[in-house]
């Protein structure tokens, strides 16, 4: 039976007098609306730990003023049933007031320059919100490891950097992207895709596939191949398609040879999606 924890319950579990020995603990941070990609994170956590804590919290600090905070799906009962079926021991489901007792938050974690590029251009302040809530979750759950998905590649890189630079005593484990049979990366926002938008959403993965197919000719050719896919689908509004160094997230030069991370974001109807793909250029 999965136990639902509020803030006091999590503190008692991890820091209270007489709290149980949970062995090696894994944390899987989520915003709910769970799909098979989230369950893959849970499965990976179970392979690495004795106890798994899944957090479900729609974090208002990472949403901008014109984003879909109120619209974001919150099917908590369905999520809980999926986690119980997966054998998750604990679900941390705090309120906004518990996580941010002095809203609006005044103490935040800066993502630095790396948080102001790519996603940070379209979503200013987003990564400060992500890092702040993740740091709070780490402090409360005190995990030995935390599992994040590679679909949110920039987020994953920034969380790893925060852990390294703040000397936080845990390991970050990454789960490869889980896709539908047709290549669409799983996302909670896929639930918003209706009618032809579901087909148009494949533009992101097709653009990345086209970039990889042209990678032997170098970064410029790979990027141009991806942009051509977007040009053929004018009803999909691209935010960016960039080839970056996997470590620094800086765009690679035209003469670069080696591993790159191709990242893209686009709006399909009212829904904004992201995707990425790793490959070698040159």
Q: Which residue has the tokens 């709006």?
A: 267
Rounded distance, CA 149 to CA 17, Å? 34
Which member of 38, 93, 126, 142 is catalytic? 38
126 included as an active-site residue: no
Rounded distance, CA 278 to CA 248, Å? 14
- Contact in structure between 53 and 169 (CB atoms under 8 Å): no
Point out the residues that are catalytic.
38
């Amino acid at each position: 039976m999965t136990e639902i924890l509020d803030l006091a319950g999590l503190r008692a579990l991890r820091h209270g007098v007489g709290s149980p020995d949970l062995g090696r603990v894994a944390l899987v941070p989520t915003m709910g609306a769970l799909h098979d990609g989230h369950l893959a994170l849970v499965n990976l956590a179970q392979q690495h730990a004795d106890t798994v804590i899944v957090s479900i919290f729609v974090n208002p600090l990472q949403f901008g003023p014109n984003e879909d905070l109120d619209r974001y799906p919150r099917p908590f009962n369905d999520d809980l049933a999926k986690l119980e079926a997966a054998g998750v021991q604990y679900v941390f489901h705090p309120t906004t007031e518990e996580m941010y007792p002095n809203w609006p938050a005044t103490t935040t974690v800066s993502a630095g320059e790396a948080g102001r590029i790519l996603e940070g251009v379209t979503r200013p302040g987003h990564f400060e919100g992500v890092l702040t809530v993740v740091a709070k979750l780490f402090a409360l759950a005190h995990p030995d490891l935390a599992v994040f998905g590679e679909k949110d590649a920039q987020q994953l890189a920034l969380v790893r950097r925060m852990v390294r630079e703040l000397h936080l005593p845990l390991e970050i484990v990454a789960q490869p992207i889980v896709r539908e049979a047709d290549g669409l990366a799983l996302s909670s926002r896929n639930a918003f895709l209706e009618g032809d938008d579901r087909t148009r959403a494949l533009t992101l993965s097709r653009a990345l596939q086209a970039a990889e197919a042209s990678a032997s000719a170098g970064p410029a050719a790979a990027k141009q191949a991806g942009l051509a896919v977007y040009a053929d689908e004018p009803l999909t509004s691209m935010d960016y398609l960039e080839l970056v160094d996997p470590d620094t997230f800086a765009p690679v030069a035209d003469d670069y040879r080696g591993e790159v991370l191709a990242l893209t974001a686009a709006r399909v109807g009212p829904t904004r999606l992201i995707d990425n793909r790793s490959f070698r250029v040159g």
